């Protein structure tokens, strides 16, 4: 699952047992996202959906 808010999107992913990627959309900056990732141990932080596609090896 991909979202821009850990408090809602990340919590939902955790509830359903899905992996989570936090997208930096202006809701949170890279430093804040990395702090959340260290605290909550979710899978990935990406700049945007294009960054996720590149991470997954999808040509854009």
pLDDT digits (tens, 9 = 90+) for 42-51: 999 999 999 9
In a domain, 23, yes or no: yes
Note down the domain range covering 10: 2-55
In a domain, 18, yes or no: yes
Number of structural domains (the chain) is: 1
Confidence class of residue 19 from pLDDT cuts 50, 70 and 90? very high
In a domain, 60, yes or no: no
Record the pTM: 0.87
Instruction: Quickly list DSSP for the chain.
Output: -EES-IIIIIHHHHHHT---EEE-SSSS-HHHHHHHHHHH--SEEESSHHHHHHHTT---
Kindly state the greatest CA–CA separation across the chain: 32
In a domain, 32, yes or no: yes
In a domain, 25, yes or no: yes
């Amino acid at each position: 699952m991909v979202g821009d808010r850990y408090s809602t999107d990340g919590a939902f992913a955790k509830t359903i047992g899905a992996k989570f990627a936090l997208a930096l959309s202006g809701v949170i900056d890279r430093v804040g996202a990395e702090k959340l990732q260290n605290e909550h141990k979710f899978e990935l932080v990406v700049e945007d959906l294009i960054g996720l596609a590149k991470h997954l090896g999808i040509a854009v």
